C-alpha cells in the first residue's frame, strides 16, 4: 500500500509539472511593453519551426531579409557567412508573389484595416471581416509588423502560430509573435527585402 501511495504522489507531481510547463509555454515576453502576453489555450504560441543562427554564405549585404517562399523560411543575413533563419507562413495558391523592396515602416501591435478586396472575398465565403481592428493579441497582424515597400504586404506576427510553415496567407509573410519581435528588434526601416518564389 505504501508503494502505491508513493506511485500516486509521483504521478500527481509529474502531472502538475507537465501542466506547469504547458502554462509556461503559453505566453511570451514583449520587450516593448515589458509585459507577458498570453496566448489562447488552444495553442502555445510557438512556431513549429524553431529559429536558429545558421552558416549562410551569401553575397547579400548584412541586414538583408531574404524570404524563400518554397522553403517557408525567412533568412536575415547577418554577415560573416551567417544568417538567422525563421519559419514563416506564406501566400496560398493564387496569392504568391516575388520581388525586391524595402521596409518602409515598422509598427508595434499594429492595427489592421483589411483591403476592400479581401473584405469582399471573405464576404462571399460567408465570413464578415471588420473594416478596422485595434492592435492586440487577438489581431491577425500579431505583435509586430514591418511594411514592405508600397505594397499591401507585410512581414507580421500571427495569433495562429500553428500556420507557420504553411501557405495560408493572402500574400503577407507571417511569423510567430516571438519570432517577429526578435526580427523587428534587429531590422531597420530601409532594410532590403527580397521575396523569392
Domain containing 173 — which CATH number?
2.40.440.10
Residue among 78, 40, 65 nearest 162 (CA): 40
Is 25 a member of any domain? no
Local mean pLDDT, 10-residue blocks, the chain (197 residues): 48 42 47 53 62 95 97 95 97 95 97 91 91 91 96 94 92 96 97 96
Residue among 60, 66, 61, 51 nearest 164 (CA): 51
Q: Please identify every residue annotated as catalytic.
A: 156, 172
Please tell me the pTM assigned to this model. 0.77
Counted domains in the chain: 1
Residue among 134, 140, 137, 136 nearest 154 (CA): 140
Is 42 a member of any domain? no
Q: What is the pLDDT of residues 98-153, one digit of tens each?
A: 999 999 999 999 999 988 989 999 999 999 999 999 999 889 999 999 999 999 99
Structural domain including 180 reads 52-196
CA angle (73 as vertex; 27, 28 as ends), nearest 5 = 10
Is 20 a member of any domain? no
Is 131 a member of any domain? yes
For residue 4, give the 3-state DSSP assignment: helix
150 and 103 Cβ atoms separated by less than 8 Å? no
142 and 177 Cβ atoms separated by less than 8 Å? yes
How many residues are recorded in the chain? 197
Amino acid at each position: 500500500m505504501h508503494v502505491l501511495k508513493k506511485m500516486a504522489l509521483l504521478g500527481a507531481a509529474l502531472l502538475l509539472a507537465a501542466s506547469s510547463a504547458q502554462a509556461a509555454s503559453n505566453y511570451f515576453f514583449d520587450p516593448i511593453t515589458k509585459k507577458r502576453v498570453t496566448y489562447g489555450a488552444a495553442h502555445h504560441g510557438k512556431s513549429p519551426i524553431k529559429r536558429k543562427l545558421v552558416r549562410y554564405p551569401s553575397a547579400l549585404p548584412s541586414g538583408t531579409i531574404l524570404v524563400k517562399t518554397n522553403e517557408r523560411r525567412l533568412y536575415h543575413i547577418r554577415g560573416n557567412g551567417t544568417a538567422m533563419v525563421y519559419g514563416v507562413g506564406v501566400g496560398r495558391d493564387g496569392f504568391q508573389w516575388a520581388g525586391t523592396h524595402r521596409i518602409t515602416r515598422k509598427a508595434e501591435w499594429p492595427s489592421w484595416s483589411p483591403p476592400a478586396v479581401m473584405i469582399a472575398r471573405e464576404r462571399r465565403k460567408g465570413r464578415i471581416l471588420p473594416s478596422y481592428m485595434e492592435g492586440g493579441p487577438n489581431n491577425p497582424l500579431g505583435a509586430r509588423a514591418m511594411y514592405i515597400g508600397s505594397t499591401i504586404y507585410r512581414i507580421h506576427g500571427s495569433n495562429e502560430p500553428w500556420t507557420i510553415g504553411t501557405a495560408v496567407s493572402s500574400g503577407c509573410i507571417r511569423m510567430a509573435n516571438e519570432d517577429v519581435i526578435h526580427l523587428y528588434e534587429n531590422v531597420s526601416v530601409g532594410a532590403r527585402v527580397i521575396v523569392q518564389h
